[in-house]
Structure 1
Amino acid sequence: MKCKRCNTSEGCLVSRNETFCGACFSRFVLLKFRKQMMLDEYYQQVFKVLYADKNRTAEEADEENARSVILVPLSLGSSSLAMLDLLNQTLIEQRSAHNRTGFQVKVVLCGFSTEMDELKKLAGWLQTERLAANADCIDFYFLDLDRSFSDCEVDKLLLASEGYDTRKVTSTGESATLSDILDQFSGRSSRDDMLCFARQHLIKRFASQHQVKVIMWGHSVTRLADEIVSLVIKGRGAQIASALNSTDMDAEYGALFKNLYPLRDVLLSELDAYCTLANLQRYIYNYSLQDSLFIKRQGEATQANRAVSMAKNMTINELTRQYFDAVEKDYSNVISTIVRTGSKLDYPNASTADVIHCSICNNRVYIDASKWLKSITVNDCHPPVSDEDLSMLQMWEASSKGQETIAQKHARSDIWSAATEAPLCYGCIVTLNETKEKELNWPSRENEVSEVLAEFTLTDEV
Structure 2
Amino acid sequence: MPTSVPKETGLGVCKQCQTNDAVENVRSRPMCRDCFCKYIATKAVKRMEKFRTRFSTAGQQRSLLLPLSIGVSSLVLLHCLDEQLKRQIENTGRTGFALQILHVDMTAVVPEGPSATQLDVVKERYPTHTYTSIPISSVMEVEDVQDLLKQYGIDTPAPLGDGIETTNLQCLQTLLQAIPTATARADVLSILLHKLIVDFAKADTCEAIVWGDSTTRLAEKTLAETAKGRGFALAWLVSDGPSPYGIDFYYPMRDLLKKEINAYATYTNPPLTPLIAPEPPLETVVSAKHSTIDGLMRNYFDAVEKNYPSIVANVVRTTAKLQAPGVGAGDASCSLCGLPLLLTPRTEQGLVAEGKAPPPLCYGCLRSVPMFSP
Q: CA 1:86/1:320 → structure 2, altered by over 3 Å: closer, same or farther? A: same
| Residue identity in the other structure for 1:252 | Y
CA-CA distance at 1:173 after TM superposition: 8.2
Identify which of 116, 122, 127 aligns with 2:118: 122
1:62 has 2:58 as partner: yes
Structure 1 residue 429 corresponds to structure 2 residue 372: no
Distance verdict in 2 for CA 1:334–1:252, change over 3 Å:
same
Q: In structure 2, what is the Cα distance between the partners aligned to 1:172 and 1:76?
A: 31
Instruction: State the 1:309 CA deviation.
Output: 1.1
Asked if the contact 2:102/2:133 (under 8 Å) is kept, the reply is: yes
Counterpart of 1:358 (choices 331, 334, 351) is 334
Task: Look up the match of 1:416.
Answer: none
1:280-308 C-alpha deviation (Å, 9 max, x unpaired): 111111327xxxxxxxxxxxxxxxxx876
**Match of 1:140, SS?**
strand
1:324 corresponds to which residue?
A: 301
Give the direction of change, closer, same or farther, for the CA distance of 1:9–1:84 in structure 2 (3 Å limit).
Answer: farther
Query: Given the alignment of the two structures, is residue 215 of structure 1 paired with residue 220 of structure 2, yes or no?
Result: no
* Change beyond 3 A, Cα 1:231–1:251: closer
Question: CA, structure 1 residues 176+206, in 2 after alignment: closer, same or farther (shift >3 Å)?
Answer: closer
User: What residue is the counterpart of 1:260 in the other structure?
Assistant: 250
Q: Deviations over 1:123-143 (max 9, x none)?
A: 221221x224xx2xx111012
Tell me which of 44, 47, 52 is aligned to 1:47. Answer: 52
Q: How many angstroms apart in 2 are the aligned matches of 1:364 and 1:7?
A: 51
Partner of 1:17: 28
Q: Secondary structure at the match of 1:62?
A: coil
When residues 341 and 325 of structure 1 are mapped into structure 2, their CA distance, relative to the original with a 3 A threshold, is same
In 2, the alpha carbon distance for the partners of 1:118 and 1:78 equals 12
Q: CA RMSD in A?
A: 3.1
Indicate the residue corresponding to 1:131 in structure 2: 126
Conserved in 2, the CA contact under 8 Å of 1:157 and 1:422? no
Q: Distance in 2 between matches of 1:243 and 1:189?
A: 19
Task: Tell which has more relative contact order, 1 or 2 (C-alpha 8 A, sep 6+).
Answer: 1
Residue pairs, 1:254-333, within 5 angstroms: 257-278=247-268, 279-287=271-279, 309-310=284-285, 312=287, 313-333=290-310
**2:71 and 2:228 mapped to 1: Cα distance?**
25
Residue 172 of structure 1 and its aligned partner are, at CA, apart by 7.6
Task: Trace 1:184-199 onto structure 2 (pairs within 5 A).
Answer: 184-199=178-193
Distance 1:127 1:49, change over 3 A: farther
Structure with higher Rg: it is 1
| Corresponding residue SS for 1:259 | strand
Residue identity opposite 2:339 in structure 1: N
Deviation at 1:113, TM superposition (A): 5.4
The alpha-carbon deviation at position 104 of structure 1 amounts to: 0.8
Between the aligned partners of 1:97 and 1:208, the Cα distance in structure 2 is 31
Segments of structure 2 that go 5 or more residues without pairing to the other structure are 1-11, 159-166
- What is the aligned counterpart of 1:338 among 315, 324, 332? 315
Structure-1-length-normalised TM-score: 0.67
1:87 & 1:5 partners in 2: Cα distance?
23
Q: Kindly indicate whether the alpha-carbon contact (under 8 Å) linking 2:14 and 2:32 is maintained by their aligned counterparts in 1.
A: yes
TM-score by length of structure 2 reads 0.82
Deviation at 1:31, TM superposition (A): 1.1
CA distance in 2, matches of 1:122, 1:227: 26
| Structure 1 unaligned residues grouped into runs of 5+ | 52-60, 159-166, 289-305, 377-418, 441-462
Determine the C-alpha separation between the residues in 1 that align with 2:285 and 2:20. Answer: 43
Percent identity at matched positions?
A: 27
Q: Distance in 2 between matches of 1:127 and 1:80?
A: 14
Three-state SS of the structure 2 residue aligned to 1:34 is helix
Which residue of structure 2 aligns with residue 7 of structure 1?
18
State the one-letter code of the partner of 2:346: S
**Equivalent in the alignment of 2:164:** none
Aligned length: 342
Kept in 2: contact 1:155–1:171 (CA 8 A) = no
Q: Does residue 63 of structure 2 align to residue 31 of structure 1?
A: no
How much does 1:119 deviate? 3.2
Mapped to 2, the partners of 1:431 and 1:82 lie a distance apart of 32
Which residue identity does 1:103 align to in structure 2? F
Match of 2:152 in 1: 168
1-structure distance, mates of 2:102, 2:148: 30
Indicate the SS of the match to 2:79.
Answer: helix
